[in-house]
Structure 1
Amino acid sequence: MTDIIARDETASLISADKVEGTDVFNNDGEKLGSVQDVMLDKRQGNVAFAVMAFGGFLGMGEKHHPLPWDTLNYDDERDGYVVNLSKEKLEGAPTIERNETNRLYDRSYGEKIYGYYGVPPYWM
C-alpha cells in the first residue's frame, strides 16, 4: 500500500519521494540542477528547504544549495521546478556539504539563506 502512495500525486499534492530528483530550471529554461532532498519543519509542518544539487560530474564537485521552498514554482510543461535565478547568482548562493544538513536547523543560517533569495522566512 505504501508503494502506491509514494508514487502517487494529485493536482495539488505530491509525495516527497517524487520531488527528489526533479529537475530545477531558471526562467530562461536552463537546467540548474535537481532536487536532492526536501527538508521539513516537523514542528510547524512547513517545507523549509529544497536542497538542490548543482554542477559537478558523477557527484564530484557537486554543490548543494538549500533553496527556500517558496522560490520554487512547479511547471507542468517542463515537468520540473522553476526558480527566478541565474546560474551566476546560484554560484554565489549559500551551500551546504552533504553531511551538513544539520546547519539548516540553525535559524540564523536559515535567515541568511532566505535573505539571499529575497524571501521572508516561513517562521516569521
Structure 2
Amino acid sequence: MTEPVAIGETDRLISSDKVEGTRVYNPRGDRLGFIRNFMVNKRSGQVEYAVMEFGGILGIGNEYYPLPWDLLSYDAKQGGYVVDLEKDKLEGAPRYNDGDPTWDEIYARQVYGHYGMTYPLF
C-alpha cells in the first residue's frame, strides 16, 4: 500500500503555509522577527531566501529583511528558526519597507555578502 503524499509536515518536510509566521530567534533565544514568506527560484526549485519581518507596531513601520535560506536552522525546541545574528547586525542589513525589492544578481550579492556568504548561481 502506498503512503499518502504529505501536505502538512513530516520529519524532514514542511509546507510553505507552516513556514510563514514562524518566529525567528538568535542563538540566545532573543526573538528577532518572523518569517513573512520565502522565495523559491522558479527554475531550480531551490529556496533562495526567506523574508523576515521585524519591527513596527500593528503592521505599521515593519521592515522586511531578506535572509539567505542557509542562514536559518529549525529548532524544534523553540518551535522556530534560529539565525546566528544579533540585532545590531540586522541594523545594517539590506532591507525594505514596502513592495518587493528588485531581486537581481547585484542585490542578491549585497544580501549574501552582508552575511559573509557567496551568492549561489542556481
Which consecutive unaligned segments of at least 5 residues does structure 2 have? 1-5
Tell me the secondary structure at the aligned position of residue 50 of structure 2. Answer: strand
Q: Within 2, Cα distance between the matches of 1:82 and 1:68?
A: 13
Tell me by how many angstroms 1:100 deviates: 1.8
Q: Which has the larger radius of gyration?
A: 2
When the two structures are superposed, what TM-score results if normalisation uses the length of structure 1? 0.89
Alignment-derived partner of residue 77 in structure 1: 77
Alignment-derived partner of residue 115 in structure 1: 113
When the two structures are superposed, what TM-score results if normalisation uses the length of structure 2? 0.90
Residues 1-124 of structure 1: pairs in structure 2 closer than 5 A: 5=7, 8-101=8-101, 103-104=102-103, 106-123=104-121
Which consecutive unaligned segments of at least 5 residues does structure 1 have? none
Tell me the secondary structure at the aligned position of residue 70 of structure 1. Answer: helix
Aligned Cα root-mean-square deviation (Å): 1.3
**Contact in 2 for aligned 1:71/1:119 (Cα 8 Å):** no
Q: Within 1, Cα distance between the matches of 2:98 and 2:10?
A: 30
- How many residue pairs were aligned? 117
Tell me by how many angstroms 1:22 deviates: 0.2
Tell me the secondary structure at the aligned position of residue 74 of structure 1. Answer: strand
Tell me by how many angstroms 1:79 deviates: 0.4
Q: Within 2, Cα distance between the matches of 1:60 and 1:115?
A: 29
Deviations 1:66-87 (A, max 9, x none): 0000000000000000000000
Tell me by how many angstroms 1:10 deviates: 0.7
Tell me by how many angstroms 1:96 deviates: 2.1
Q: Within 2, Cα distance between the matches of 1:46 and 1:98?
A: 25
- Give percent identity, aligned residues only: 49
**Contact in 2 for aligned 1:75/1:81 (Cα 8 Å):** yes
Q: Considering fraction of residues, name the structure with more helix.
A: 1
Partner AA of 1:66 in structure 2: P
